[in-house]
Structures are given as structure tokens and as C-alpha cells.
Amino acid sequence: MNSHVRLIVLQFFIVLIVFIAQNLFAAEEYSLEDLYGIALERSEQVGISEQNLIIAKRGKDKALSFLLPGVSAFGEYTQYSEEKGVSSGAGRFIIQPKSSSSWGVSIGQSFSLGWQEITNFRISQKTIESNEYDLYTTREAYILRVAESFYDVLQASKAVEIAQENVRRLTKYRDDARIRLQVGEVTKTALLRAEAELSGAQSELIRTENVLNLAQAVLARVVGIEGDFSLKESANTESPSTGDMFYSDELEPLSSLKAEAMRERSELKSNHIQKLIAEEQVRYAKGAYWPTFSVEGGYIKRDEDPSSSFFNDESIYGMLRLGFPLFEGGLRKAEVREAEARKKQADLTYSDLQKKINIEVEGAYLVLKTQRGTLKSIEDQLKFARENYDAVSKQFTFGLANSIDVIDANTLLLESERQLNRAQYNYKLFLLALKRATGTLFKTVTNRQSSVISQNTGEKK
């Protein structure tokens, strides 16, 4: 009885350990939205862009420091080798004491009459805005990269399923050919052809599995995740959303998409600010032609041992200074010409970027439009190919079709499945690419994540 009880207890603990192990080591499941959040937190490229923004903010602090007066204090003590003095009828005068000390404080401000310090401060403010848009651009480009890797894994996973199904079909075809050979309905070449096709399908299955493993490794590197994981397609990626203009029956007009890109693209906003910065830099360079004005005031306290009767132990002073460089070898003229050239360069860069964005939007629009048009026909092709294979396969089983008919039908079905697999995931990726081209991808992702968080919070409540 005791041994029976011990056996039951042992079995209970084994089941408990297996249950705990399954929960501890279960593969983590991620949706595309989950991967967006993880990638933006762990991406080195996004981190570098964030540090650039921090550097720009510190640059503004530095520019502000030149607009504020500087306060300084000093103190010193001097010990001499000996005391020296001069005697006269009026007494003895100290010309070198045994020791002396002094301390003081001063406050001063220096600025250009061309207001270079104010111009530099405005430049620092605009630099922060430019870096904010650059950070937005980096994030948007990175989430598109995450989406590409995500759909590569899903497409590779579906390709494995297609290859497995192909192996199953060819295995059945090989078995049917073997049975028909035994009864003398086909020659041995039919069985050999079936064996060869099955062997090729098994090799293709191994290749697709390796492609899937590589795609998963790339996704893990891009997002920054480790260990086993699986992917799930959310409702937003599985099926069209009627509220999304890109999923509607008719795409937005190309002119509207281009206009939206001109409004929303963060690269264009950043380049516009760079144009303004270039204008400020021309103004800053011209400010060097103006004189520099300085004002300073201070207090000094002195002490000597011994001190003479004419010793001044305390001073309060104020100073005004106006400085103007008369000759600097053409430096100011060269700096102004350089700033004007950079301004022209910024104007040309902005104009060129506008053209590139228009071409990018048009290209993404046409690719998506083409994909929408072919997707339905590929779905119909797959439907007909599957029906054709089922019919030919049954005919072969009953001796009404030959091996070539089966191979042709299977090849057509396999290619149709592959085409539809590529087309479906490419279509979803092209949707995101068009949003990226119009500059609305990151906004769409953040709004969707906020909506999901709100829904989850409401459900918990």
C-alpha cells in the first residue's frame, strides 16, 4: 500500500514538473504591434537618434549661456622672501611686504552689436526641432523594417506549410503509382517519376525550413529578442479594415497622397528647418562685421603685511569696452560667402527631396494598385488549380489520367499557392510602404497601439 501511494505521489510530481516546464519554457508569442514597441525600445539606431536630440538640447543650453552675464570670483596669496622699504624724512615706505593677499568678484557680459548671440540661440532652437523630426524619421523607417522582417517570417512559415502539403500530395501520388504498378496498369517509369518528384519536394521542404530559420533569426536581431518565439497576426494584419483608406474599395487619388506626403513627411519638415537654419547662419556670419561690446563690474579686497600708509585695500570698478577687428585677412568675407553657399545648398536639397518624395509616393501607389489588381486573379487561379488537381488525382487513381497529368496539375497548384502566399504578404507590406511614403506610418502605429491599450484598460476595469 505504501509503495502504491509513493507511486501515485511520484506520478503527481512528474506531471507537476512537466506542467511547470511547459509554462516556463513556452515560446513567447508576439503580434506585429508587440514587436513595434519592443524594437523602438531596444533599437541602437533609434537610441543614437535620441542621443542626437539630447545633444541638440544641450547645445541650446550652451547658446543660452552666452546671453547671460558671467560671474567669477578669485583669491590669491603671495609670500615674499623679505620685506623691503624706503626710509625718508616723512617715514618709512613699504615697497615689498612680507606677504599680500587679495580676493574679489566680478560680473560681466560681452555681446556683438550684430546680435550674433541671439542668432545662435535661434539656431539652437531650430536644431532641436530638426532633430525631433529626424528621430521621427528614424522610428518610422525602423518600424517598416520590423514589418518587413515580420512578414518575411510569416511568408516563410506559410511556404513551409505549402511545401509540407506538397510532400503529402506527392506521397499519395507515389503510393497510387506503386499500387497501379503492382496491378500492371502503369510502367515502372511512372513510379520512378513519382519517387523523383517526391524527393525534390522533400528537398524543397528542407530549403524552406532553413529560409524560415534565417528569417526568424533576422527578425530577432532587428527587434532585439532572444529565445524561441512565435508570431500571431492581429485583426489589423489578417483582414482589411473598412475604416482604413488604404483598404477601401478605391485608393485615395494620387494627387491627395502626394499632398499628404508634402504635409506629413518628417524628412521634408526637417529639411525645411535646415533651410531656416542656413538663413540664420548667413545672418550670424554677417554679424561679425559689427563691433563687440563688453561691460564688466567688480569688487576687489586686498591685504598686505605690513602695509604702507598709501595702501588701497578695497576697490569697486566698472568697465565698458568696444572692440572692432580692423583686419583679419578676409576671414569675415569668406565666412559670409560660405554661409550663403550653404543656404543655396539647403534650398536645392529641399527641392530635390520634394521630387524624390513625389516619385516615392507614386511608385508605392502604383505597386500597391498593381498588387490589388492581381491578388483577386491569383486567388481565382489557386481555386481553379486546386479543383483541377483534385479531379486529375482522382482520375489517376482510377486509371483515367497518366502521371504527366498529375505532375502538371500538382506543379500548377504548387506555383499558385506560392504566388498567393507572396502576393498576400506583399500586399500587406505594400500598404505599410505607402503609409511610410506619405509619412503617416508611425502616426498610424502609435494611434493603433493607444487604441489597443485603451481597450485592454477598459476590459480590465
Tell me how far apart the alpha carbons of residues 430 and 123 are, in angstroms, rounded to a whole number: 38
Crossing angle (nearest 10°) for helices 331-397 and 266-286: 170
CB-CB contact of 102 with 75 (8 Å): yes
Please tell me the predicted confidence (pLDDT) of residue 400.
83
What is the pLDDT confidence band of residue 451, given thresholds at 50, 70 and 90? low
Query: If you write DSSP's letter for every residue of 268-324 in order, what string do you get?
Result: HHHHHHHHHHHHHHHHHHHGGGS-EEEEEEEEEEEEEES--TT---EEEEEEEEEE-
Contact partners, residue 335, CB within 8 Å, separation at least 6: 285, 288
- For the segment 27-40, what is each residue's pLDDT rounded down to a tens digit? 688 888 889 999 99
Distances (CA, A) of 133 to 138, 244, 269: 9, 25, 7
Predicted confidence at residue 246, as pLDDT, reads 42
| Nearest to 212, CA basis, from 165, 163, 166, 169 | 163
Q: What pLDDT is recorded for position 242?
A: 34
pLDDT per position as a tens digit, 371-393: 888 888 999 999 999 999 999 98
Q: What is the pLDDT of residues 157-188, one digit of tens each?
A: 999 999 999 999 999 989 888 888 888 777 78
Q: For residues 205 and 209, what is the distance between their CA atoms, to the nearest angstrom?
A: 6
pLDDT at 25: 47
Query: DSSP state, 25?
Result: S
Residue partners of 367: CB distance under 8 A and separation at least 6: 430, 433
Q: How far apart are the first and last CA of the chain?
A: 52
Number of other residues whose CB lies within 10 A of the CB of residue 392? 22
Cβ atoms < 10 Å from Cβ of 303: 15
Mean pLDDT of 85-110: 83
Residue 456 makes CB contacts below 8 A (sequence gap 6+) with: none
Range of weakest confidence among 75-84, 376-385, 446-455: 446-455
Judge contact between 236 and 446, C-beta under 8 A: no
Q: How many C-beta atoms lie closer than 10 Å to residue 345's C-beta?
A: 13
CB-based contact 165:159 (threshold 8 Å): no
Distance between CA atoms of residues 117 and 60, nearest Å: 11
Q: Is the dihedral of CA 415, 417, 420, 426 positive or negative?
A: negative
In angstroms, the CA 350 to CA 335 distance is: 23
Is the separation of the CB atoms in 218 and 148 below 8 Å? no
> What pLDDT, on the 0 to 100 scale, is given for residue 229?
85
The position carrying cell 509540407 is: 164
* Per-residue confidence (pLDDT) for residue 247, from 0 to 100: 44
| pLDDT value for 158 | 94
Indicate the pTM of the whole model.
0.81
- From 62, 53, 57, 60, select the one nearest 131 (Cα to Cα): 53
User: Burial letters for 280-300: b for 16+ Cβ neighbours within 10 Å, e otherwise?
Assistant: bbbbbbbbbeeebeeebebeb
Structural Rg of the chain based on CA atoms? 39
